[in-house]
Homo-oligomer: A and B are copies of this chain.
Amino acid sequence: MIEFELIHEDKQTRARAGVIKTPHGDIETPVFMPVGTKATVKTMTPGELVDIGAQIILGNTYHLYLRPGHDLIREAGGLHKFMSWDKPILTDSGGFQVFSLSEMRKITDEGVEFRSVIDGSSHFFTPEKVIEIEEAIGADIIMVLDECVAYPADKADAERAVMRTYEWAKRSKAALKSDQALFGIVQGATYEDLRKRSAELTVELDFPGYAIGGLSVGEPHSKMFEILDYTVPVLPRDKPRYVMGLGNPTSLVGAVSQGIDMFDCVLPTRIARNGTALTSEGKLNLRNAKFAKDFTPLDPAHDCYVCKNYSRAYLRHLAQSDEILGARLLTWHNLAYLFDVMRGARQAILEDRYAHFRDEYLAGHDMEFGTI
């Protein structure tokens, strides 16, 4: 189980600083959780993640179920032991991947049938099956199976997904045999009444934490903040709040202001492998020819290992040559950068100056980081 301690609420915004206590250690919030899709945060060792400040990582139930399989992970002693990571882990439910990756899928009230991205084989996820898989994986925090709708969604579809997600949440809770912390998920697309209803229903079930799902699926940024604005107040003050799939720094800084505590996204690691860095000057695409003879540090305002040791010209050369070290160094920097932004946010909250922190950060980053 987990415990959430609310340390401080910013006086001018809804931003809050807290601590989530888990069996594998404490997590200071607000927190960004890097995604370790297939039992590895791509390119990084566990030790490196700890060095740059990772407090918790996310594992993808969908991918781990397909390979190496949850039975194998159980036999290995759980995901922590399998991948040699002894800090907290959160697993998603696999629902998002079923909806986004599988071409062939069939959803009913019972569950969702889908084909494997690896070999096309047929599989069936029910809320109970997902709990069984997540129990085998053994993360500290686990998520209920939910139904995501695409953006934009018909109101009827969105409402059906809200009710199905609610029914599935009840079944997930009933199925849980372990003492892992099971979080509920709020759906409702872009409809205020549905979002509020979904939040109320989910909160009624009394989970140790709440996620807001179905965001960052293509809607405009302003729409996402509008949704957070009316949904967050329905969630209890004393439980952690998590927006799934958010990873660009400006969105994080904005959502923290709305009272969100937890985030995850593949953005920092994925764009790194494409040669793009998140910096205090905005996004830099190092494949751009203008960096060929730029012997300055990646981000002169940042003091991570990468910024202290390598030039833009060298990082560009690695990217152009598709060298693994290039993907490593940019992943390293991008995560370190995001963790630093979150640390800065937390400090600002503790000092009741979050509005200033947010406004200054957003003013300095009018360059669109973009969603993914």
Contact = CB atoms under 8 A, between A and B. Distances in A.
B324 A324 contact: yes
A7 interface: no
Contacts of A237: none
Q: Which of A72, A313, A314 counts the most B-chain CB atoms under 10 A from its CB?
A: A314
Given A38-B323, A75-B293, A293-B75, A314 B84 contact: yes
A82 interface: yes
Interface string A314-348: 10011011011111110000000000000000000
Contact of A323 (B40, B309, B320, B326): B40
B76 A43 contact: no
Interface string A60-101: 000000011000100111000011100000000000000000
A122 interface: no
Interface in A289-320: 292-293, 295, 309-311, 313-314, 317-318, 320
A310 to B, nearest CB: 6
Q: Which of A75, A83, A326 counts the most B-chain CB atoms under 10 A from its CB?
A: A83
A22 B44 CA distance: 33
Contact of A324 (B43, B76, B311, B317): B43
A39 interface: yes
Contacts of A318: 39-40
A178 interface: no
- Chain A, interface size category, equals 35 or more
A207 to B, nearest CB: 31
Given A75-B295, A309-B84, A314-B76, A323 B42 contact: yes
A12 interface: no
A45 interface: yes
B314 A39 contact: yes
B328 A43 contact: yes
Contacts of A329: 45
A68 B325 contact: no
Given A68-B292, A293-B75, A314 B83 contact: yes
A97 to B, nearest CB: 15
Contacts of A321: 38, 67
A324 B320 CA distance: 17
A59 to B, nearest CB: 13
Pairs of residues from A and B, 5 with the lowest C-beta to C-beta distance, nearest first: A40-B325, A68-B317, A43-B324, A84-B309, A38-B321
Interface of A: 38-40, 42-46, 67-68, 72, 75-77, 82-84, 292-293, 295, 309-311, 313-314, 317-318, 320-321, 323-329
11 contacts: A38-B317, A39-B318, A40-B323, A42-B325, A45-B325, A67-B317, A67-B320, A72-B313, A76-B311, A82-B313, A83-B314
